Amino acid sequence: MAAVEATAGRRPGRRPVLAVATLAVLVLAALVVPLVAQLDQQLVDLRSAGLPPSLAHPFGTDEVGRDVLLRSIYGLRVSMLVGLVAAVVSVVIGGLVGLVAGTLGGLVDRLLMRVVDGFNSLPHLLFGVFIVAMFAPSPTAVVVAVAVTHWTTAARIVRSEVLSLRGRPFVDAAISGGSTRARVIRRHFLPNLAPHLLLATVLMIPHAIWHETALSFLGLGLPPHMASLGNMINDGQRSLLAGDWWSSLFPGLLILLPTLALSALAQHVRDRANPRWRSELVL
């Protein structure tokens, strides 16, 4: 029984280690492989078109002879970068809205929360399609689409925490001592909001990657010439009828790996944040 309990007690610690190791390997591959690879990820070789996985091409080649492994690593780099930027922008927007709503309260709070409810009532993917349809396919269009449709979660988190902090004795003492609202925000609100903003960003990155992939798969995200995982799956579905399963399978797996790792890491951080972070508020 003691051995079982000891093993069960160690399992939560392994999850973040495995997640961090997976992310480290993927990020390292995305950064290093394009720098050292001798092959151009856009190189077309019709003589090598549709080759199955082999030692020369571990992920096979696509319908025009491009190496799927090299293009998948390029696509992973693009998708993760776009997802990270979109997540940070959405959290910044939501954090500012939540901070203003929670700090000012009253009519401003009610108006901003109605705006949040309005955005939450819209289907995120359809609204994102509407946004990117107004621009030419580009990473900027995808970042804008994801940020505009996903900032509301961070806004609610920050607003709730600010409302909680406003009732704390150390905030009342600071206000009674003559601290301005800007000083209270800088000295008390922001340090205590930092862990929540970090958690919101980590939770947002997998959503951003999936939305970028979905938009690119629909042909509305990144330009067709740019190697992204969504574009590769879209291109690979035409090869499925010819039996070239590898053109879509391996890019799909590279989407799952970072999102599952980030989700596991975020779950671990969330478990640790409740209640440990709340007991370590910066006074």
Domain boundaries, the chain: 14-37+59-280
Residues 115, 121, 124, 126: what is their CA dihedral angle, to the nearest 10 degrees? -110
DSSP 58-113: TT-B-TTS-BHHHHHHHHHHHHHHHHHHHHHHHHHHHHHHHHHHHHH-HHHHHHHH
pLDDT-derived band at 113 (thresholds 50, 70, 90) equals: very high
- Give the separation between CA 128 and CA 120, rounded to whole angstroms: 13
Convert 208-233 to b/e letters by CB count within 10 Å (16 or more is b).
Answer: bbbbbbbbbbeebbbeeebbbbbbbb
- Lowest pLDDT segment from 84-93, 116-125, 180-189: 180-189
pLDDT-derived band at 112 (thresholds 50, 70, 90) equals: very high
pTM above 0.75, yes or no: yes
DSSP 8-class letter at 221: S
DSSP 8-class letter at 243: T
106: how many CB neighbours lie within 10 A of its CB?
8
Return the higher-pLDDT residue of 188 and 37: 188
pLDDT of amino acid 96: 93
pLDDT of amino acid 37: 61
DSSP 151-200: HHHHHHHHHHHHHHHHTSHHHHHHHHTT--HHHHIIIIIHHHHHHHHHHH
Q: Which residues contact 177 (CB under 8 A, 6 or more apart)?
A: none
Q: Which residues contact 203 (CB under 8 A, 6 or more apart)?
A: 153, 263, 266, 270
Among residues 80, 81, 59, the alpha carbon closest in space to that of 236 is found at 59
- Give the separation between CA 86 and CA 89, rounded to whole angstroms: 5
**Domain 14-37+59-280 classification at class level:** mainly alpha
Quick one: average pLDDT of 215-225? 77
Residue 201 has pLDDT above 50, yes or no: yes
* Size of the chain, expressed as the number of residues it contains: 283
Residue 176 has pLDDT above 50, yes or no: yes
Among residues 124, 126, 123, 113, the alpha carbon closest in space to that of 157 is found at 113
Q: Which residues contact 55 (CB under 8 A, 6 or more apart)?
A: none
pLDDT of amino acid 5: 40
Among residues 223, 79, 225, the alpha carbon closest in space to that of 138 is found at 223
